Chain A
Amino acid sequence: MTLTAHRKMQLYGALLLLPAAVLLATFAYLPTVMTVINSLFLPGFRGEPAEFVGIENYQMLFDDPTFWQVARNNLLYALGTIPTSIALALGMALFVNGKLPGRGFVRMAYFTPTILPMIAAANIWMFFYAPQIGLFNSLLERLGFSGINWLGDPSVALGSVIVMSIWKEAGFFMIFYLAALQSLPPDLKEASDLEGTSRWSFFWRVTFPLLMPTTLFVLINALINAVRVVDHLFILTKGGPNNATNLLLYYVYENAFSFFDRTTAATITVVILLVLAVVATLKFTILDRRTHYQ
């Protein structure tokens, strides 16, 4: 009797999991497996069957200098966007968490970039960056400096894309920090005020450690975003000039849909998946242990 009830519970649980499992299998696991398989074959030419080539596609990819340039660009992009946008987000959250006039308005202003679609934001920034008619250069020229070709000069193009991404991301992360700050128990602040703790050491000893779970969450989001970025490249640079702003996912897109080279696209995708898997493992083993959850 107890066994059948137990069985029933098991069946009940399995049925509850079924919809999610089916969706995940269809849209996550199956494509992943297909991608791995595709990366091991060379497609047939004009209707001929595909040929199994093992890891040859990977060797080809690692011999491709553009791939390494794109990977390096992506690393720079991640290093450029993640720490800055997180620090900015925290700063903005602390600022609008305090008592200041027009707080609601400031919060909304900080959040506005986030609700804009990426394509719209990129279009706005394209005109900010435009060399002759753009906002930045008219400001520079008014100050007596000569303008910069923000998106057309390979040495500054990636930086320009990074700045725009920070603008877009910081407001989003601010919301999480703001929520976390407001859930901190006020008695901690009261106690530290009684003890006469300086604001500085209160922040570093109390607030910041308590925000660690949020920081971790934001960090992971930022990392995912850094790999996922593709849309604003369409508008701003198309990966140019001469691949200076080409990032991994855009390179995948280019291979798959501009070059009709599904094999290379699949191979790069598998490499990205592997790297992300390593990062996820590091997160679970190292960062989690150092994070203080309430």
Chain B
Amino acid sequence: MRTRIPLALSALTAGLLSAGQAVADDPVELTMYYPVAVGGALTDVVDDLVEEFESGHPDIDVEAIYAGNYDDTRVRAMSAIEAGDTPQLSVLFSIDLYELLEQDAIVAFDDLVETDEEREWLDSFYPGLMENGQLDGKTYGIPFQRSTIVLYWNKDAFEAAGLDPDTPPENWEEMAEMAATVREASDGEQWGVMVPSTGYPYWMFQAFAFQNGHRLMSEDGTEVYFDDPAAVEALEYWVSLADEYDAMPDGTIEWGTLRQNFLEESTAMMWHTTGNLTAVRKEADFDFGVAMLPMKTQRGSPTGGGNFYVFKDASEEEQRAAMTFIRWMTAPERAAEWSIETGYMGVSPAAYETEALREYVNDFAPAAVARDQLDHATAELSTYQGGRVRRALDNAVQAALTGQMTPKEALEQAQQEAESALRRYAR
């Protein structure tokens, strides 16, 4: 009894003290939605990061809510805004920019930064990753879980087929031939290459088109060029991998199960986001390599993935707190940690200069491929009416791959659909 009274007293004083502190300095509460578009327990990684941030910043409270894939997350965020319960910040698709602007939902970071240090931070990212987040000279999206498409190849399968296991295909012709060689050598047991055509078919197609020297949209997002001969040729090549070379399965290939296909060695090569890299590394029980995508007239891949956005309805104090959080999350050490945990690229050159990521890349060279490919990257397909325009292109790619239309017919139809969706924006 004697000991309990002082204990209770001190607990009471402590409680009073902290209560007094809380009144004086209420933590700013932030809500953030974020997506995961690759397999693996990435939500744990985010939760850990958020916890670490909170322990260093007792004045800011972050509630990070996993909201599905990129589309689901956009829906969650937009419905929350409509319900008057706007999150202060979110990670959304880097190509959601036009729609978010059209809904008048987000603010430019240029209007949020105050100090020179912050302005420097805004300039610290790879320019290639900033392209999708900028419009009319202002920055609205800060790169976070960013990727390019890379080529994963199974070295064991290459060796078994009599190919040099350390030489990935350089160009389209080589890829088709190597893939066909694997297919033949395995007696039809193993496919040569798989390029996913569900989920984000437009993204993969954009890579093919860009490798053929063709950009699919105008810089201001009001025009698309789907039916250009270079684009048609790109889709013809994609279709030919199955049709002519018999190196890729007929029909569409599922985005969600492709990694498993590769891990179970049912294909010797796959095109996939670099965001899958760490998961493949952990699970593959064969020797594999990662290379830049093959080229036709030039190397190329669109960038992809998610950016941080800050919402307009948040108070000034909340927006400042959101900035603090985003700066912390994108700081070189965290970007390095995130890259190592996932395979997504470090978003700034400084991230690759941290000891952690330098050592990791030294030890595991594939981790640098996505970054090196940035030199050959282009912005992801992003236009006004983006959902409808992408869907038109998705349908065209699938119609061609499943043999419902020729690549030319399919792309002409997509062009028509996209043009009618964009009519009001073409000035």
Contacts and interface: CB of A to CB of B under 8 A. Distances in A.
A133 B264 contact: yes
B388 A259 contact: yes
B394 A240 contact: yes
A190 B395 CA distance: 61
Interface string B64-99: 000000010011001000000000000000000001
A131 B391 contact: no
A237 to B, nearest CB: 7
Given A133-B261, A257-B78, A45 B424 contact: yes
Contact of B399 (A46, A235, A242): A242
Contact of A243 (B103, B198, B254, B395): B395
B361 interface: no
Contact of B253 (A152, A242, A254): A152
Interface in A210-262: 235, 237-238, 240-243, 254, 257-261
By CB atoms of chain B within 10 A, which of A45, A153, A237, A261 has the most?
Answer: A153
Contacts of A197: none
By CB atoms of chain A within 10 A, which of B252, B260, B261, B264 has the most?
Answer: B252
B74 A241 contact: no
Given A132-B249, A133-B261, A149-B250, A242 B391 contact: no
Nearest to B199: A238
A209 to B, nearest CB: 46
A95 interface: no
A151 B398 contact: no
B424 A133 contact: no
Given A237-B198, A254-B391, A130 B71 contact: no
B71 A240 contact: no
Contacts of A260: 78, 99, 102-103, 387
B261 A152 contact: no
Contacts of A243: 395
A130 B102 CA distance: 39
Given A133-B260, A241-B398, A257-B74, A149 B251 contact: yes
A47 B264 CA distance: 52
A156 B280 CA distance: 31
A131 B99 CA distance: 36
A261 B104 CA distance: 16
B254 to A, nearest CB: 7
A138 to B, nearest CB: 10
A131 B104 CA distance: 43
A126 interface: yes
Nearest to B258: A130
Interface in B187-207: 191, 197-199
A257 B71 contact: yes
A127 B254 CA distance: 10
A80 interface: no
A159 interface: no
Contacts of A240: 198, 252, 394-395, 398
Contact of B402 (A133, A153, A254, A258): A153
By CB atoms of chain A within 10 A, which of B78, B402, B424 has the most?
Answer: B402
B385 interface: yes
Contacts of B385: 259
Interface in B247-271: 249-254, 256-257, 260-261, 264, 266-267
A242 B404 CA distance: 9
A237 B198 CA distance: 7
Contacts of A153: 250-252, 402
Contacts of A133: 257, 260-261, 264, 266
A131 B251 contact: yes
B194 to A, nearest CB: 9
B252 A152 contact: yes
B191 A132 contact: yes
B401 interface: yes
A258 B267 contact: no
B167 to A, nearest CB: 25
Interface of B: 71, 74-75, 78, 99, 102-104, 191, 197-199, 249-254, 256-257, 260-261, 264, 266-267, 385, 387-388, 391, 394-396, 398-399, 401-402, 404, 424
16 contacts: A45-B424, A130-B260, A131-B253, A132-B191, A151-B252, A152-B198, A152-B250, A152-B252, A152-B253, A152-B254, A240-B198, A241-B198, A241-B252, A241-B401, A259-B387, A259-B388
Interface of A: 45-47, 126-127, 130-133, 149, 151-154, 235, 237-238, 240-243, 254, 257-261
Closest CB pairs A-B (n = 5): A152-B251, A149-B251, A152-B252, A132-B266, A241-B398
Given A152-B251, A241-B398, 13 more contacts: A127-B260, A132-B264, A132-B266, A133-B257, A151-B252, A154-B404, A238-B198, A242-B395, A242-B404, A254-B391, A257-B75, A258-B71, A259-B387
